[in-house]
Chain A
Amino acid sequence: MNERVEPAGAASAPETRRARLLERARALRQAYLQVFGIPDYAGYVAHMAVRHPGEKVLSQREFFACAIDRKYSMKGPRCC
């Protein structure tokens, strides 16, 4: 489930049981967000930290607004 952990995030490899459980809970939460298409702010922050360090990161409010608007303004029709 943790295939989406970016290389830098993986550096803090969970050593204790507690950390492993937390990691597991985080992955489950992310899976739930992705299945239902809910914008994943934590994933976005992690992505920015790895791919675009130093760049401005949107606040949770900004990110959510932007992601929802994009999701529903896409041209693709939905299903029957």
Chain B
Amino acid sequence: MNKTASVVLWPAVAIVGAISFGLLALNRGENVSAVWLVTAALSVYLIAYRFYSKFIAEKVLQLDDARVTPAHRHNDGMDYVPTNKVVLFGHHFAAIAGAGPLVGPVLAAQMGYLPGTLWILVGVVVAGAVQDFIVLFVSMRRDGRSLGEMIKIELGPIPGSLALVGVLAIMIIILAVLSLIVVKALTGSPWGLFTIAATIPIALLMGIYMRIIRPGHVGEASIFGVVLLLASIIFGRTVAEDPTWSVIFSLTGTQLAWALIIYGAIAASLPVWLMLAPRDYLSTFLKIGTIVALALGIYFVAPKLAMPQLTRFIDGSGPVFSGTLFPFLFITIACGSVSGFHALISSGTSPKMVEKESHTRLIGFGGMLAESFVAIMALTAACVLDPGVYFAMNAPAAVVGTTAENAAKVISSWGFVITPELITQTATDIGETTILARAGGAPTLAVGMAQILGQALGGKTMEAFWYHFAILFEALFILTTIDAGTRIGRFMIQDMLGHVYKPLGNTEFLPANVLATVLCVGLWGYFLYQGVVDPLGGINTLWQLFGVGNQMLAGIALLLCTTVLVKMKRERYVWVTLVPTAWLLITTLTAGLQKIFSSDPRVGFIALAERFSTAVAQGKVLAPAKSIEEMQRVAFNNYLDAGVCAVFVVLVLAMCVYALKISLQALKQAQPTAVETPYMAEPKGAGA
């Protein structure tokens, strides 16, 4: 771009962004169009990318295109393949975008649209995109090594092992919480359950086609896969209306939990080509397609934001999750602002495919901005809903009861006036019997999407179709994650067991495989099952546990980046990673400690556990528990959750100590001490 154009363009982008923010923040009374929210976000992304990522690329990391990347060094035509930067951006984005950015912002919408929007935008620029970019860079300079290996090399073997324990714990929690989202979305929903169940035979059929009938023809298999999926959504209505079949496909939460546990164990034991690979392709196609459709839908329909800027629930009394804005907003929205999980992806396949060092700016920083945009759209979809409908879906039954009349009364008393008719009408519109107790983000997003896409295509009559399409799209990639995540969890458990008793670490040894699979499924299955049966537990507990864990992992990844910068003798620029590290540590340690020690039983695990165990000792039953046995379960689970939280807190503090120690040592050295793959210049003409 030439200089004059640049001088005109960037101030223009800044002005458009400022106007959008002004409309969002200063508006009183009238509802603002969602287009302004999306426009404000896009302006922030453009400016951050143009200026901040350029600064990081040129000054902090000093990317060097003359230096050979692992893709060229090890070019094997399979894992290490130099890849066009736009293509790799797409690949990386498809790998990082999951259910996370769709859930957190929806839950955080209970505080209004402004806090969530600001944290998503500030968080991604200062923390999330920086983390993804620098981890990708650090891994690329080390032959595409994984986060765990890099921590081991740069910080030492003990921090390396600690990080692995942390990653496994977070995996278990995320698998449980994602399964719980599916359970919440499908309980008593024959239409939804039928379409999700139909994905299993469809995936198997695709797998056989791709492997045996026409090897390698993923495109053909995906086309008939998508056609069959759409057919199953349409046919789902017939199933839901049929008196016999609708009963067969109406499962309770407990039944669904068991179904998912059994599914996880079997799916993770099948060969990857049979179900995991075809399902993964299918869900990636649907994911990209849906995200694009939603973005177009928002601009095309220009829906109004019905949720206020701020609600009274910033004081911590919210029904969706409890806890005050600081620190709980910052752990509820993890993916979309900053996600520790991305550090695992940025040190996975992407660094092995980078063609030139300078490309990491678009792939790492740009990829995360795109993910953040998905989070903004999820927030938008939740905020265009009538706030009454939003709270009816997301507040637990213990608060709003189980009938539309009662829910309408309670929610109206909070100041979000809603009639029981609107609650039942919304359920009818989307082809369901109820919208109550559908916490977890996915159903709320689905209703929002159904309303937006319904206005763009098909009107009211199509809303039920779009709702089930959205549920299918989310459930599909959650099921893929359960399958793949269980395999990874099994692998990590085997790795750890191998240190105790060698044969257990052998991944070719069937009994060891089975043991590790059962252990992994048993662990996440336990948290899932408790989330379903515990009257006080569920998404509101598990999502926060996940948030604490995920942000701690981000803290660990940023501590690694900080240490590497110091070891490279770039301490001048260390604030680039130190500022987000500090912020993550402050928010997550505060949140973690409050979750453990707060005396408010709505927030603190131990306080709640003690309240229930004291009552048990006196032989009293506290609502919403119905028996002494349920009371004991609530008490035990809360002690357990406090324990998991404590593990995260201790882990991250230990990592801090190690990172500080290594950094102080490196500061005393005159020469860089970072352990990079030795410099090799690009031979002339190579990789052209």
- Name A residues whose Cβ lies closer than 8 Å to a Cβ of B: 1, 3-5, 7, 10, 30-32, 34-41, 43-44, 47-48, 51, 60-61, 63-80
Complex contact B83–A63 (CB within 8 A): no
CB nearest to A46 among chain B residues? B77
For chain B, residues 186 to 226, give those with C-beta under 8 angstroms from any C-beta of chain A: 210-211, 215-216, 218-219
Binds A, one of B35-43, B96-104, B514-522, B564-572: B96-104
Nearest CB on B from A8, distance (A): 11
Other-chain contact of B87, A7, A10, A35, A74 (Cβ < 8 Å): A35
**B91, A35: Cβ atoms under 8 Å?**
yes
In the complex, B688 has a CB within 8 A of chain A: yes
Given contacts A60-B216, A72-B272, 14 further A-B contacts (CB under 8 A): A3-B84, A4-B83, A10-B688, A31-B84, A34-B88, A43-B77, A65-B273, A68-B211, A70-B79, A76-B345, A79-B335, A79-B344, A79-B345, A80-B481
CA distance A39 to B211 in the complex (A): 12
Of the residues A10, A35, A64, A80, contact of B210 by C-beta under 8 Å:
A64
Q: Please give the distance in Å from A52's CB to the nearest CB on chain B.
A: 9
The reply to whether B348 and A36 form a contact with Cβ atoms under 8 Å apart is no
Q: Which residues of A contact B281 (CB under 8 A)?
A: 36, 38
Interface contact B491-A68, CB-CB below 8 Å: no
Find out whether the CB atom of B276 lies under 8 angstroms from the CB atom of A72: yes
A51/B215 contact (C-beta < 8 A), A10-B688, A34-B83, A80-B100 known: no
CB nearest neighbor in B for A3: B84
Q: Size class of B's contact patch?
A: 35 or more
Roughly how many angstroms separate A73 CA and B341 CA in the complex, as a whole number? 18
Asked if A78 and B95 sit within 8 Å, CB to CB, the answer is yes
Flag if B95 contacts A79 (CB, 8 Å): yes
Quick check: A60 and B215 within 8 Å, CB to CB? yes
Q: Which residues of B contact A (CB under 8 A)?
A: 75-79, 81-84, 86-88, 90-91, 94-100, 146, 167, 171, 174, 178, 210-211, 215-216, 218-219, 271-273, 276-277, 280-281, 284-285, 334-335, 339, 341-342, 344-345, 347-349, 353, 355, 481, 484-485, 487-488, 491-492, 546, 550, 685, 687-688
Minimal beta-carbon separation of B688 from chain A (angstroms): 6
When the two chains form their complex, are residues A7 and B688 in contact, meaning their CB atoms are under 8 A apart? yes
- Pair B485/A77 contact, Cβ less than 8 Å: yes
Q: Which 8 A-B pairs have the closest CB atoms?
A: A80-B100, A47-B77, A76-B348, A35-B90, A72-B272, A64-B216, A61-B215, A79-B98
Would you call B485 and A48 a contact (CB within 8 A)?
Answer: no
Please pick, from A40, A41, A74, A78, the residue contacting B485 in the complex, using a CB distance under 8 A.
A78
Known: A35-B87, A37-B284, A76-B347. A67 touches B167 (CB 8 A): no
13 contacts between A and B (CB under 8 A): A3-B687, A35-B90, A37-B94, A37-B349, A47-B81, A61-B215, A61-B216, A64-B211, A69-B271, A77-B341, A78-B345, A78-B481, A80-B99
Given A35-B90, A35-B91, A77-B171, is A4 in contact with B82 using a C-beta cutoff of 8 Å? Answer: yes
Q: Is the Cβ of A7 less than 8 Å from the Cβ of B685?
A: yes
In whole angstroms, what is the CA distance A75 to B280 when docked?
Answer: 17
With contact pairs A76-B347, A77-B485 given, residues A63 and B94 touching in the complex (Cβ less than 8 Å): no
B561 to chain A, nearest CB (A): 18
Give the complex CA separation of A60 and B484 in angstroms: 25
Instruction: Kindly provide the distance from the CB of A61 to the nearest chain B CB, expressed in whole angstroms.
Output: 4
- A78 engages B94 (CB within 8 Å): no
Nearest-neighbour CB distance to chain A for B90, whole angstroms, equals 4
Instruction: Give every chain B residue within 8 A of A76 (Cβ-Cβ).
Output: 146, 344-345, 347-349, 488
The binding surface of chain A is classed by DSSP as helix
A9 to chain B, nearest CB (A): 10
Which of A35, A43, A67, A74 has the most chain B CB within a 10 Å cutoff? A35
The answer to whether A64 touches B78, judged by C-beta atoms less than 8 angstroms apart, is: no
**B99 adjacent to A65 (CB under 8 Å):** no
Contacting pair B285 A67 (CB below 8 A): no
A76 to B167, CA, bound (A): 11
| Residues in B whose Cβ lies below 8 Å from that of A67 | 78
Q: Chain B contacts of A60 at CB under 8 A?
A: 215-216
Given known contacts A69-B272, A78-B484, is B216 in contact with A41 (CB within 8 Å)?
yes
Take A37-B284, A44-B77, A72-B277 as given contacts and tell me if A79 and B87 are in contact as well, using a CB distance cutoff of 8 Å.
Answer: no
A3-B688, A37-B91, A61-B215 known; A70 vs B78 contact (CB < 8 Å): yes
Q: Which residues of B contact A36 (CB under 8 A)?
A: 91, 94, 218, 281, 284-285
Contacts of A10 in B (CB 8 A): 688
- Please judge, given known A-B contacts A64-B211, A72-B484, whether A77 and B167 are in contact too, CB under 8 Å: yes
Question: A10 to B98, alpha carbons, bound, how many Å?
Answer: 38
State whether A73 and B94 are in contact (beta carbons under 8 Å apart), knowing that A31-B84, A61-B216 are contacts in the complex.
Answer: no
Residues of B within 8 Å of A39, CB to CB, are 78, 216
Contacts of B215 in A (CB 8 A): 60-61, 64-65
CB pair A80–B77 under 8 Å, yes or no, is: no
| Contact between chains at A80 and B90 (CB < 8 Å) | no
B87 touches A77 (CB 8 A): no
Nearest CB in chain B to that of A79: its residue:
B98
Known: A38-B281, A61-B215, A72-B484. A79 touches B100 (CB 8 A): yes
A74 to B352: give the CA distance in the assembly, Å: 13
Chain A residue nearest to B101 in the complex (CB): A80
A29 → chain B, closest Cβ, in Å? 9
Contacts of A47 in B (CB 8 A): 75-77, 81
Closest Cβ neighbor of B284 among chain A residues? A36
Residues in B with CB closer than 8 Å to A66 are 78
Q: A4-B82, A79-B97 are in contact. Are A74 and B88 (CB under 8 A)?
A: no
Q: Which residues of A contact B687 (CB under 8 A)?
A: 3
Nearest-neighbor residue (CB-CB) of A31 within chain B:
B87
Which A residues touch B90, using CB under 8 A? Answer: 31, 34-35
With A and B bound together, what is the CA distance between A75 and B168 in angstroms? 12
Taken together as a complex, chains A and B put the C-alpha atoms of A64 and B272 apart, in Å, by 12
> In the complex, A11 Cα to B345 Cα: how many Å?
36
A68 touches B77 (CB 8 A): no
Contacts of B218 in A (CB 8 A): 36, 38
A66 to B281, CA, bound (A): 17
Looking at A35, A74, A79, the one whose CB has the most chain B CB atoms below 10 A away is A79
Q: How far is the CB of B297 from chain A (nearest CB, A)?
A: 22
Report whether B273 and A79 are in contact in the complex, using a CB–CB cutoff of 8 Å.
Answer: no
Q: Which of B78, B88, B341 sits near A79, CB closer than 8 Å? A: B341
